[in-house]
């Protein structure tokens, strides 16, 4: 029989000597000596495509691998192994353990050969790509097994090898190595010592291992760094990835590559490689230590600071709170002292005003001896009253000392005058108590000195008052001598010695301590506060002097006060005269006369303006007035003033705001605040940029001294006592009725106005402005503008004081306080009463009108004179020449005028009193 087959795939000899030829499509040809027998699908085989025939000597069978079955031939018979699990098989090999390894398209099956023969396969193994086979087996290609048991399999991507005899005893020969180490993408090579040296870096380190396995197994591999930050990777060899670290710490590491047994219990094979990572600077122990110390120190410092600040803050808060409490208490005290001193000052002012009237009495019709003694008493009263006022001011000083606000107020003073004012005050008390009072004053004391005379006076007065108080019999003495002197300074020693009760030795220490009164039992009847000597000592120290005491208990004491003063006029004072009679009587002599000097006075209250004008009349300075801050600024821009006096409390821009603007235009112009609030004091106004302040009611001497300082020498004229002033000495007869007005104190008014002429002017102005002011007050109140209302009430207070309307002044003061405290209840309850009281002055002062009404007995004005007056006014009003306009109005008032002109001058007079220059100009222009 001829062989028909297209292609023999496999040949094998069976034990009977026949050759079995497997074909790709014809089944098997059994070739025996002389005959060929075909076995195919028709006679036993399941497939005609025979892939492989394998001789199995042990069982004496030939295994046939067909394209869809495993069969075997034994004794000429073909048996299909139906229990074989797969049917696209290619090849078959046997290992030493009698297992058949069947290569298939799915993988490699390992089946017990006996089980196959018996067609009873229940257990088998299959190795695929998933669990060990490196490549898929190529279809229809044969494997090869050498005599050592190595099975080579044709795979799709290469040859896979497995030793099928040794496969189960675990002796694998897998090649392992480090594939690559990268640090920051830079490849690291092994050095000569076979160490991988990774440089210092913070970046990424990638370590890959290669596990080269030509077997079909895919063992579990463990890759880890000994000393590294983690446990590494355990995975199948085929899935092995790189170890990756970022910021791997420096140090020596060992890279372990391990092949693990199935289940990972055993390490079957291991290779170890050395890796070293260099330290970064920051990783060095020393550097770390230093950094640690640094960080610890900084942390410690921060904690310490926070704690310190917390402690300090707490303490600061506490101190601040206490300070605020103390300040509040102190403010309350200052306010109380200010109020009480005001209460006391008012009656003293009355006494002084009356006394002033006595001193201005005309001596001509009185016997000289009588007049002189009256004058002496009057001077004693004045000195005593002044001292008393001084003491009241010192009461304010106590609070100033305690709050550290006490400062020296130094100026020139007349030594005799100072001592005289002290002695006169004490003389009265000595006489009252029938004590001798010896005054020994060194004749060689300098005539004028420079220092804080008020404080010296207070210290000496206190020592003398104590001498009077603590001496029952005998007397005391004042001894003032000059201890030393040079060209500039004199050291003055003031001793007050008494024959009083004396001071116990043990009490000496407490003598100059505040609130300490000694020997209470014996002194129980004597009034005192225990403050006097403490203030005296503090004043003495403030002036750079000392004060001490020498005493024998029961016999008497001597207090010695030593102080150095600058000499202004070194001429000696000569014999001390207690009563200076040369001072009695005579017209007021101003300190200076300066007709060319220009002064600007700014106050919203025209009455205050008129008082200042009145006070300065004798000095002949040219006074320009302004009723608002804004207007004052304009005037200062255009004018050239020597001094500006600026009211603090004004509607619109107040004094402080106005000053700020003035300073922008003229930084150096001397500006003084006019204020009723003397408690704020010099320091406050200086801090706001003022050169100083003048307390209302303005004292003529202070006003003159203040202004004088700023008037240039070339504008000064010597003040001549005789023609210095044309001040009226008494009220005109047609005004005497004013004494009968119940609510007006004429002496107080005259004093507050600065003279009789100013007083008359003020009365007139007060009367004229009642309607207009009432309207403004009512409007402010109705509109709820409490600030304006308060400012206007403040103005009313000043005006009332200027005319001596003390009741109205007090009422307005209370309303002002309510306004400042925004006390709507008080304002609402009393506003109408105040307005009624204010309006009542229209009637009380009604007779002013009569005085102003043209008198029929007056001579009719000559036509020429009237014409001249109109002409002069046309020139003078635009120049705001106050004095000349006043003079013309005065001269016109002596005549009777035609009705039309009378009306014109009445209106002009009204506008003049209001300083309404624009109004006056408009009026004179319409009259042309």
Contact positions vs ligand ADP (CB under 6 A): 462, 466-467, 470, 498, 500-503, 511, 517-519, 523, 528-534, 557
Cis peptide bond upstream of 239, omega within 30: no
Least distance in angstroms from the C-beta of 512 to ligand ADP: 8
The answer to whether residues 911 and 885 touch, using CB atoms and an 8 Å cutoff, is: no
Dihedral sign for Cα 905, 906, 910, 916, please. Answer: negative
Minimum Å gap between C-beta 704 and ligand ADP is 35
Question: Please, what is the minimum distance in Å from the beta carbon of residue 532 to ligand ADP?
Answer: 3
Nearer to ligand ADP, 55 or 510 (CB): 510
The full 3-state SS of 561-580, as one line of letters, equals: EEEEEEEEEEEECCCCCCCC
Choice between 99 and 466, CB closer to ligand ADP:
466
Between 528 and 595, name the residue whose CB sits nearer to ligand ADP: 528
Give the shortest CB-462-to-ligand ADP separation in angstroms.
Answer: 6
Q: How far is the CB of 551 from ligand ADP (least distance, A)?
A: 7
Residue (28 or 547) nearer to ligand ADP, CB: 547
Distance from chain centroid for Cα 194: 69
Dump the DSSP string for 39-53.
E-TTTT-S-SBEEEE
**Helix, strand or coil, per DSSP, at residue 868:** helix
In the complex with ligand ADP, the residue whose CB is nearer, 467 or 618, is 467
By beta-carbon distance, which residue lies closest to ligand ADP? 528
Closest CA to 20 of 72, 68, 67: 72
- For residue 274, the Cα-to-chain-centroid distance in whole angstroms is 65
Alpha-carbon span 109 to 119, nearest angstrom: 15
Least distance between ligand ADP and beta carbon 435 (Å) = 12
The Cα 276–Cα 95 span in angstroms is: 46
**Closer residue to ligand ADP in complex, CB, 462/605:** 462
CB of 344 to ligand ADP, least distance (A): 17
Least Å distance, CB 305 to ligand ADP, is: 49
CB 431 → ligand ADP: shortest distance, Å?
A: 18
The nearest distance, CB 836 to ligand ADP, in angstroms, is 46
Please report how close the Cβ of residue 479 comes to ligand ADP at its closest, in angstroms: 14
Q: Is the CB of 520 or the CB of 859 nearer to ligand ADP? A: 520
Write down the least CB distance from residue 340 to ligand ADP, Å.
Answer: 18
From the list 91, 102, 104, the residue with the least C-alpha distance to 50 is 91
> What is the distance between the alpha carbons of residues 629 and 621, in angstroms, rounded to a whole number?
22
Q: How far is the CB of 413 from ligand ADP (least distance, A)?
A: 24
Min CB(503)–ligand ADP separation in Å? 5
Alpha carbon of 171 to those of 134, 496, 643: distances in Å? 18, 128, 119
Using CA atoms, how far apart are residues 780 and 788, in angstroms rounded to an integer?
6
Question: Residue 132 or residue 502: which is nearer to ligand ADP going by CB?
Answer: 502
Nearer to ligand ADP (CB atom), residue 479 or residue 778: 479
Any residues with CB less than 8 A from the CB of 577 and at least 6 apart, and which? 416, 420
Q: How far is the CB of 470 from ligand ADP (least distance, A)?
A: 3
In the complex with ligand ADP, which residue's Cβ is closer, 327 or 438? 438
Nearer Cβ to ligand ADP (466/691)? 466
For residue 697, give the nearest of 607, 604, 793 by alpha carbon.
607
Minimal distance, residue 472 CB to ligand ADP, in Å: 11
Separation of alpha carbons 565 and 575, rounded Å: 20
Helix (H, G, I), strand (E, B), or coil: what is residue 756? Answer: helix
CA angle 251, 254, 255 (to 5 degrees): 125
Which of 346, 328, 338 is closest to 817 using CA atoms? 338
Q: Tell me how far, at minimum, the Cβ of 466 lies from ligand ADP, in Å.
A: 3
Find, among 759, 783, 787, the residue nearest to 604 by Cα. Answer: 787
Distance between CA atoms of residues 926 and 909, nearest Å:
16
CA dist., res. 824 & res. 272, Å (int): 97
Q: Which residues pair with 556 in a beta bridge?
A: 552
456 exposure class (CB count in 10 Å sphere: 0-12, 13-18, 19+): buried
Complex with ligand ADP: residue 523 or 785, whichever CB lies closer: 523
How does DSSP classify residue 352?
H
At CB < 8 A and 24+ separation, what contacts does 223-226 make?
A: 223/255, 223/256, 223/257, 223/258, 224/255, 224/256, 225/253, 225/254, 225/255, 225/256, 225/275, 226/253, 226/254, 226/255, 226/256, 226/272
Residue with Cβ nearer ligand ADP (19 or 562): 562
Rounded to the nearest whole angstrom, what is the least distance from the CB of residue 397 to ligand ADP in the complex? Answer: 14
Closest listed residue to residue 61, CA positions, set 52, 71, 69, 51 = 71
Calculate the dihedral angle through the C-alpha atoms of 120, 122, 123, 129, rounding to the nearest 10 degrees. 100
Complex with ligand ADP: residue 538 or 910, whichever CB lies closer: 538
Q: Are strands 77-80 and 19-23 parallel, antiparallel or unpaired?
A: unpaired
Q: What DSSP string runs through 882-927?
A: HHHHHHHHHHHHTSB--HHHHHHHHHHHHHHHTT-HHHHHHHHHHH
DSSP 721-739: TTTS----SS--GGGGGGG
């Amino acid at each position: 029989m001829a062989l028909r087959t297209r292609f023999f795939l496999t040949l094998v000899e069976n034990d009977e000597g026949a050759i079995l030829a497997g074909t790709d499509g014809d089944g098997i040809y059994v070739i025996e000596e002389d005959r060929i027998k075909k076995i195919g699908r028709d006679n036993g085989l399941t497939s005609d495509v025979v892939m492989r025939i394998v001789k199995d000597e042990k069982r004496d069978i030939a295994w046939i691998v067909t394209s869809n079955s495993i069969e075997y031939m034994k004794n000429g018979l073909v048996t299909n192994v139906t229990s074989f699990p797969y049917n696209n098989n290619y090849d078959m090999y046997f290992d030493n353990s009698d297992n058949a390894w069947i290569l298939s398209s799915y993988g490699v099956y390992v089946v017990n050969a006996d089980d196959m023969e018996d067609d009873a396969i229940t257990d088998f193994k299959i190795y695929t790509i998933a669990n060990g086979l490196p490549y898929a087996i190529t279809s229809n290609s044969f494997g090869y097994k050498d005599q050592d048991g190595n099975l080579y399999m044709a795979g799709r991507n290469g040859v896979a090898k497995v030793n099928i005899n040794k496969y189960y005893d675990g002796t694998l020969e897998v090649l392992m190595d480090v594939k690559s180490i990268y640090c920051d993408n830079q490849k690291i090579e092994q050095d000569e010592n076979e160490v991988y040296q990774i440089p210092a870096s913070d970046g990424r380190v990638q370590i890959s291992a290669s596990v080269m396995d030509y077997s079909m197994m895919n063992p579990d591999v463990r890759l880890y760094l000994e000393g590294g930050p983690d446990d590494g990777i355990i995975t199948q060899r085929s899935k092995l990835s790189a170890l990756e670290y970022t910021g791997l710490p420096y140090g020596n590491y060992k890279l372990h590559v391990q092949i693990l047994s199935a289940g990972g219990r055993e390490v079957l094979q291991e290779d170890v490689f050395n890796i070293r990572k260099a330290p970064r600077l920051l990783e060095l122990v020393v550097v770390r230590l230093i950094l640690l110390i640094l960080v610890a120190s900084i942390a410690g410092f921060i904690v310490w600071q926070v704690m310190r600040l917390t402690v300090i803050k707490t303490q600061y808060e506490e101190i601040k709170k206490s300070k605020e409490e103390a300040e509040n208490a102190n403010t309350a005290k200052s306010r109380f002292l200010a109020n009480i001193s005001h209460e006391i000052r008012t009656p003293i002012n009355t006494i002084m005003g009356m006394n002033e009237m006595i001193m201005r009495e005309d001596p001509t019709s009185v016997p000289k001896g009588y007049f002189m003694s009256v004058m002496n008493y009057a001077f004693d009263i004045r000195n005593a009253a002044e001292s008393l006022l001084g003491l009241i001011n010192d009461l304010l000083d106590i609070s100033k000392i305690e709050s550290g606000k006490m400062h020296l107020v130094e100026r020139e003073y007349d030594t005799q005058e100072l001592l005289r004012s002290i002695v006169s005050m004490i003389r009265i008390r000595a006489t009252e108590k029938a004590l001798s009072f010896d005054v020994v004053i060194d004749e060689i004391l300098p005539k004028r000195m420079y220092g804080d005379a008020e404080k010296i006076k207070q210290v000496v007065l206190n020592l003398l008052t104590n001498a009077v108080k603590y001496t029952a019999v005998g007397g005391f003495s004042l001894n003032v001598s000059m201890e030393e002197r040079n060209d500039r300074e004199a050291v003055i020693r003031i001793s007050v010695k008494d024959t009083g009760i004396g001071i116990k030795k043990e009490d000496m220490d407490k003598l100059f301590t505040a609130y300490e009164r000694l020997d209470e039992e014996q002194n129980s009847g004597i009034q005192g506060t225990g403050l006097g000597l403490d203030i005296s000592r503090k004043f003495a120290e403030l002036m750079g002097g000392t004060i001490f005491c020498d005493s024998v208990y029961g016999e008497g004491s001597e207090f010695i006060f030593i102080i150095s003063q600058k000499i202004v006029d070194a001429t000696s004072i000569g014999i001390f005269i207690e009563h200076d009679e040369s001072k009695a009587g005579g017209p007021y002599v101003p300190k200076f006369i300066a007709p060319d000097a220009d002064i600007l006075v700014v106050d919203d209250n025209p009455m205050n303006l008129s008082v200042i004008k009145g006070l300065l009349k004798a000095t002949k300075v040219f006074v320009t007035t302004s009723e608002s801050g804004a207007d004052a600024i304009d005037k200062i821009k255009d004018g050239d003033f020597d001094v500006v006096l600026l009211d603090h409390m004004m509607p619109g821009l107040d004094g402080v705001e106005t000053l700020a603007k003035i300073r922008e235009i003229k930084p150096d112009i001397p500006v003084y605040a006019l204020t009723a609030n003397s408690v704020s004091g010099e320091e406050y106004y200086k801090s706001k940029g003022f050169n100083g302040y003048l307390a209302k009611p303005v004292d003529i001497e202070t006003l003159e001294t203040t202004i004088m300082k700023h008037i240039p020498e070339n504008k000064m004229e010597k003040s001549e006592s005789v023609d210095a002033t044309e001040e009226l000495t008494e009220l005109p007869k047609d005004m005497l009725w004013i004494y009968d007005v119940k609510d007006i104190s004429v002496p107080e008014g005259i004093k507050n106005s600065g003279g009789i002429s100013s007083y008359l002017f003020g009365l007139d102005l007060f009367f004229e402005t009642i309607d207009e002011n009432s309207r403004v007050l009512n409007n402010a109140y109705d509109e709820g503008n409490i600030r304006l209302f308060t400012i206007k009430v403040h103005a009313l207070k000043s005006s009332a004081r200027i005319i001596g309307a003390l009741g109205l002044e007090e009422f307005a003061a209370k309303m002002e306080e309510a306004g400042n405290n925004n006390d709507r209840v008080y304002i609402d309850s009393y506003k109408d009463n105040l307005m009624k009281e204010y309006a009542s002055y229209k009637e009380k002062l009604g007779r002013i009108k009569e005085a102003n009404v043209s008198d029929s007995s007056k001579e009719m004005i000559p036509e020429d004179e009237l014409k001249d007056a109109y002409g002069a006014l046309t020139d003078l009003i635009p120049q705001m020449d106050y004095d000349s306009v006043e003079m013309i109005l005065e001269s016109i008032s002596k005549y009777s005028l035609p009705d039309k002109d009378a009306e014109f001058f009445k209106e002009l007079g009204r506008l003049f009193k209001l300083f309404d220059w624009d109004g006056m100009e408009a009026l004179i222009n319409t009259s042309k």
